[in-house]
Amino acid sequence: MLERLDVPVVAAPMAGGASTPELVAEVGRAGGLGFLAGGYLTADALAGQLKAVRALGDAPFGVNLFVPGPKSTADVGRYRERVRAQSPVEPGEPRWDDDAYAAKLELVMAMRAPVVSFTFGLPDAGDVARLHAAGATAVATVTTPAEARQAAQVGVDALCVQGADAGGHRGTLADDGVSPGGGELFGVLAALRLVRAAVDLPLVAAGGLVHGADVAAVVTAGAVAAQLGTAFLACPEAGTHPAHRQALADGTRRTALTRAFSGRPARSLVNRFVAENTADAPAAYPDVHYVTKPVRATGDPELMALWAGQTYPLLRSAPAAELVARLHAEARAAVAAASERFAPS
């Protein structure tokens, strides 16, 4: 399916409210592929979003699920006290859960979601076989060639190759708890080329892509499509918080990888919370996510998770379908210009 998109543009799943049924439907209507973000939702809430997307049109779409990892042994209580001293509201209590993974997996199969992708881990081979039986395309998110080889072994149909330039959470299969990015960092082109040499699967490239020329670049480098997240945050159909929209539009903050908000590496605009807590945040997901959830909900841009890719100052505010059409036209122009540049003299 990914190889047959009319426009090789995928709207990334953005958990926490940014990905909406309206955004997904409009991207699909324009010839791309939109993704619902199943992370943090209950199974019932995800079912409601699946029904809403189908009510808005018949274009294919995807659903992303967070794969639960092991319980952390880190001291999250000390971090909670640190956050408490900085926050105007009481932090949440740290806890581990599996994000209702099993229930959501059953749901997407029962409701026959066309594409199902996985982040933070891999489905087992049996579940991939069940997805295939339900008619779904299975996609794994990877950040390194080693992760790509692991994903290929469970039988997924395609890989989303995420570069370290991407906004939001890193899609690493495990967090080493040492390096700030949760492992070796590759930019999107380096990751794409290395993974393409390691496995023979269709690849979707993600990370800092905001312009049609970026789409053309990753497709010519071996991807079947480009996945963009930050580029869609300014669309009116996105559920982006107003303070987040304003920070993106301002364009003056730098970005950094941090565990401060969730306990897993993620790229955010640097605000006071990131600056003060990145060095002390433990590798403990989702425990830290639950600690900071009430703090993030204050709406204070200095306390919120302002997810953004490294190229965020270049994003354009436009309706989603218009943005997809613009990306397509820009990509075609970039390919034409490159063809002329490489034409025999």
CA 208 centroid distance within chain: 11
Q: Which residues of 271-305 are buried (b: 16+ CB within 10 A; e: fewer)?
A: bebbeebbeebbbbbbbbbbbbbbbbeeebbebbb
Place of tokens 């899609």: 171
Asked if 102 contacts 53 with a C-beta cutoff of 8 angstroms, the reply is no
Cα 276 to Cα 63, 176, 260, distances in angstroms: 34, 22, 9
pLDDT of res. 180:
79
Q: How confident is the model at residue 177 (pLDDT cuts 50, 70, 90)?
A: confident
pTM for the model stands at: 0.96
Q: How confident is the model at residue 270 (pLDDT cuts 50, 70, 90)?
A: very high
Mean pLDDT of the 169-173 span = 97
Give φ, ψ of 252 to 5 degrees: -105, -15
In the chain, what is the greatest distance between 2 CA atoms, to the nearest angstrom?
Answer: 68
Q: How confident is the model at residue 298 (pLDDT cuts 50, 70, 90)?
A: very high
Q: Is the pLDDT of residue 179 over 90?
A: no
Q: Is the pLDDT of residue 176 over 90?
A: no
pLDDT of res. 36:
98
Q: Is the pLDDT of residue 86 over 80?
A: yes
pLDDT of res. 312:
98
User: If you count them, how many residues does the chain have?
Assistant: 345
Percentage of the chain lying above the pLDDT 70 cut = 100
Give the residue extent of every domain in the chain.
2-339
Place of tokens 């079912």: 47
Classify the phi-psi angles of 187: left when phi > 0, otherwise alpha if psi is within -120 to 50, otherwise beta. Answer: beta
Pairwise CA distance, residues 84 & 42, whole Å: 27
pLDDT of res. 105:
98
Q: Six-digit token pair at 169? A: 């959470």
pLDDT of res. 22:
98
Handedness of CA 315, 317, 323, 329 (dihedral sign): negative
pLDDT tens-digit series, residues 199-258: 999 999 999 999 999 999 999 999 999 999 999 999 999 999 999 999 999 999 999 999
Pairwise CA distance, residues 112 & 106, whole Å: 10
pLDDT tens-digit series, residues 6-38: 999 999 999 999 999 999 999 999 999 999 999
Asked if 22 contacts 30 with a C-beta cutoff of 8 angstroms, the reply is no
Pairwise CA distance, residues 129 & 300, whole Å: 44
Report CA dihedral (284, 290, 292, 296) to the nearest 10 degrees.
130
Pairwise CA distance, residues 201 & 103, whole Å: 28
pLDDT tens-digit series, residues 99-146: 999 999 999 999 999 999 999 999 999 999 999 999 999 999 999 999
Q: Is the pLDDT of residue 345 over 80?
A: no
Percentage of the chain lying above the pLDDT 90 cut = 96
Q: Give the mean pLDDT of the chain.
A: 97
| Greater pLDDT, 184 or 83 | 83
Mean pLDDT of the 155-184 span = 93
pLDDT of res. 343:
87
Strand, coil or helix: 228: strand
Q: What is the DSSP letter of 307?
A: B
In 3D space, the residue among 235, 237, 204 whose CA is nearest the CA of residue 9 turns out to be 204
Domain 2-339 has CATH 1.20.120.1750: no
Mean pLDDT of the 28-55 span = 98
